[in-house]
Structure 1
Amino acid sequence: MTMFDRVKEISKKRGLTLAQLNEKVGFKHNVIYSWKTKTPSVDKVKAVADVLNVSVDYLLGKTDDNSTSMKPKQVDITDDDYIMTYQGKPIPPEDMEYIKRILNGGKD
């Protein structure tokens, strides 16, 4: 499996199209698609790995373990730029509101 294939596969599992991932990482138009034929810089691979929360080694094919990278991912629950998921499925907005109330001690 190529690096492009790995990026495409893990993006799909994370609920992102390659275009969305490209935008989220902050790349110019279709940079990730160009990886089908070009080798990206290490910085670009690292940026994609960070957004997908996988190791660079996984994307490079050095390991088949696509578990999250060693550093914990911290996200502000009020940040709408992130898609929160549970068991690989997006959390519905009404459930997110319920979770926020619980985390705030039941206060609105």
Structure 2
Amino acid sequence: MSDLVNRIEKRIKEKGTNFKRVEQELGLGNGTIKRWSTQSPRLDKLVPVAEYLQVSLDYLVFGSSVSETSTNGDRPDLEAEKERQGLTCDGLPLSEDEVDLVAMYRLLPPSHREEIFDLVYFKYKRHVEEKKASIYSTYFDGSEDEESGPAGSREARDGTA
């Protein structure tokens, strides 16, 4: 079994339950969790398992950082938790979307991470350098009532094409 499934199994045993019961209570298909030893889990399936087992995604995926859920079942203050864990950028706590993006990024294999990093870097660089001109602007000027294609370009309309 994978480390992920082993960590889940360990927590399931500590809670005195079993895979089948956890899957039933979370609305997962029979055998879903054990399949994660050979298939990457979807984040929307992994998050409820982590919450049910009262552990962090970091713990399940990487084996560190057990979530600090209080004994009475209350969840910790998310903003305080983000700050405590250092989930900030430019001194501000990350938004839920940003935290989700980081979690999804961490779950990707290294080759996919490189691809995502390159894409984000390209978009960032284009934004910073304000390179707004693109081939798209050759065909469209922003109005919705025009046909696509070279004949509808600004140059063709102005007689310069």
1:21 maps to what in 2? 22
> Structure 2 vs 1, CA of residues 39 and 58 (structure 1 numbering), >3 Å: closer, same or farther?
same
**In 2, Cα distance between equivalents of 1:69 and 1:56:** 13
**In 2, Cα distance between equivalents of 1:34 and 1:9:** 16
CA offsets per residue over residues 59-82 of structure 1, 9 Å max, x none?
01151x435447x725xxxxxxxx
> Structure 2 vs 1, CA of residues 8 and 26 (structure 1 numbering), >3 Å: closer, same or farther?
same
Shift of 1:56: 0.9
Greater relative CO (CA pairs within 8 A, separation 6+): 1
Structure 1 stretches lacking a partner, 5+ long:
75-108
Structure 2 stretches lacking a partner, 5+ long:
75-161
**In 1, Cα distance between equivalents of 2:13 and 2:4:** 14
1:73 maps to what in 2? 73
CA offsets per residue over residues 30-59 of structure 1, 9 Å max, x none?
111111111101111101001111111100
**In 2, Cα distance between equivalents of 1:34 and 1:51:** 18
> Structure 2 vs 1, CA of residues 39 and 66 (structure 1 numbering), >3 Å: closer, same or farther?
same
Shift of 1:16: 1.0
Identical columns (%):
26
Instruction: Give the helix-richer structure, 1 or 2.
Output: 2
> Structure 2 vs 1, CA of residues 69 and 39 (structure 1 numbering), >3 Å: closer, same or farther?
farther
Q: What is the identity, as a one-letter code, of the residue corresponding to 1:44?
A: K
Give the number of aligned pairs.
Answer: 72
Kept in 1, the 8 Å contact 2:7–2:63? The answer is: no
> Structure 2 vs 1, CA of residues 62 and 17 (structure 1 numbering), >3 Å: closer, same or farther?
closer
**In 2, Cα distance between equivalents of 1:59 and 1:25:** 17
